[in-house]
Amino acid sequence: MTEKLRTSMRDSATMRWIALLLISSTMFFAYFFVDVAAPLKTLLEQSPYFWSNETFGMLGGSEFFLNVFAGFLILSGIILDKMGIRFTLILSGFLMLLGATIKWYALTPGFVGTEIETFLNSFIAGIPASAKLAFFGFAIFGVGVEMAGITVSKTIVKWFKGKELALAMGLEMALARLGVFAVFQLSPIFAKSGGVSNSLFFGVLFILIGFITFFIYTFMDKALDKQTGEGTNVAPEDEFKVADLGKILTNPGFLAIAGLCVLFYSAIFPFQKFATDMLSSKLSIDAVIAARYVSFFPIGAMVLTPFIGAFLDFKGKGATMMMYGAILLTVSHLIFALVPEASFTPVVAIATIVILGVAFSLVPASMWPSLPKIVEDRYLGSAYGLIFYIQNIGLLLVPMLIGYALSVSNPGVAEQIQANVAGARYNYTVPELIFACFGVAAFFLAIILKRIDKKKGYGLDIPNKKG
């Protein structure tokens, strides 16, 4: 067994990076689809959709509905630990493709006048049938994409633990962030040439390509297991048990990271849903131009995340990085909230977007490689599942909170926009202050995490690379 481990595929740098490229490509396509409707908020408010702020917020939250209320994320972690990486990758890819297709169909002209639309209009008045079906499809997609996220995380640990782990996770995140850049650049263009449904169609096409890259990777994973003997002859004491969830949930380091995760991501992903409309409103510019500005958001993350990952591998300071990220997160949202419109120029907007991207680089790049230091490998998949579950609670509720806060703080504006009143726009001060509050809470929790690390000796500030 020792000899096999010395000569396995993961000891080849080329094979490690090929494996990383395959699974990261799928996450690029997944992140593209996650925000494919984000730059299209104004179009969805108009004919033939007539979605409200609350409805748009519900769309963002619906991605996480099944993960939270049906516990699918916890189940995903258990499936990963019980059934293995290959099975879970294929299942997650299929669910993403199924959910994406349903969401696309809900926003096509062909959906109008169907029996499905008639049925959906028969309950929950006030929410368009197109939105209800889109919620359903996005919820299924959400199960798949979060399942893919935890599986990709465990896959990277499998190939890179004791090697360039943080760098590998950083590169995977950088490529995923490139999907965010691409969607804010391309989705408005697709919509301009073929409407909202055209943007969704290309999103589905990308998800199909991502499913294929997952499928190709499974052959590498099978070959690696054959070389190392992993997944066979597991001792009874090493098998995952449901009771192990209790061990995870009583781990103070895990709880601190989970709390930091939900606070941080609640100020990032929901913001992306509303960012185009926010900049369009505050700068009084066209939504297409605003979407291009928002596309600069992942630039900081794409450029810095690999370097931060390499720094963490060789120098450490993971817990410290999370604290700095929370500071930048808070500052960015305070600028969006409090800088007067007269001083809020396109340069200020883009610079703030990039700063937020830097924050988005510091925290995830430090957070995800830290988890294997806190929990045992045999229930690492379930730990990722639990932390994603806790994160999803925030990602489910916050978009709806922001949609509600936007409407309450802007009475009558939604009706003016639907009536095409010239100059009608939202004031995003209240939503941005809510996001800033999440950043402040994340900062204090990062300080608590550093104290826990010092007491428990997890080594979060110690370099990841051994030898």
CATH number of domain containing 313: 1.20.1250.20
More confident residue, 83 or 137: 137
The DSSP call for residue 428 is: -
Give the pLDDT confidence score for residue 125 in this predicted structure. Answer: 82
Structure tokens given for 380: 């690492």
The answer to whether residue 57 sits within a structural domain is yes
Q: Could you tell me the two tokens for 363?
A: 């925290």
Supply the range of the domain harboring residue 202: 12-229+240-456
Question: What pLDDT sits at residue 243?
Answer: 67
Q: Which of 137-151, 245-259, 328-342 has the lowest mean pLDDT?
A: 245-259
- Residue 2 banded pLDDT, cuts 50, 70, 90: very low
pLDDT > 90? residue 88: yes
DSSP states of 259-279 = HHHHHHHHTTHHHHHHHHHHH
What percent of the chain has a predicted confidence (pLDDT) above 90?
49
Do you find a cis peptide bond into 48, omega within 30 degrees of 0? yes
Query: Is residue 346 assigned to a domain?
Result: yes
Smallest CA-to-CA distance from 244 within 151, 379, 368 is with: 379
pLDDT of residue 456: 86
The answer as to whether 463 is a domain residue is: no
| Cα separation, 123 vs 365, whole angstroms | 44
In a domain, 118, yes or no: yes
Q: How confident is the model at residue 236 (pLDDT cuts 50, 70, 90)?
A: very low
Residue 234 has what DSSP assignment?
-
pLDDT band at 231 (very low <50, low <70, confident <90, very high): low
- The verdict on residue 378 lying in a domain is yes
Residue 408 lies in a domain: yes
- Each residue of 365-399: pLDDT tens digit? 788 778 888 887 777 777 877 888 888 899 889 99
The pLDDT of residue 239 is: 52
Question: ∠ CA 320-430-359 to the nearest 5 degrees?
Answer: 20
| 170 inside domain | yes
Residue in the block written with tokens 């806790």:
390
Answer yes or no: are the C-beta atoms of 283 and 336 closer than 8 Å: no
Local confidence band at 241 (pLDDT 50, 70, 90 cut-offs): low
Number of domains present in the structure of the chain: 1
pLDDT digits (tens, 9 = 90+) for 189-202: 999 988 999 999 99
> In this predicted model, which residue has the larger pLDDT, 280 or 308?
280
- In a domain? residue 43: yes
453 pLDDT exceeds 70?
Answer: yes
Q: Is the pLDDT of residue 108 over 90?
A: yes
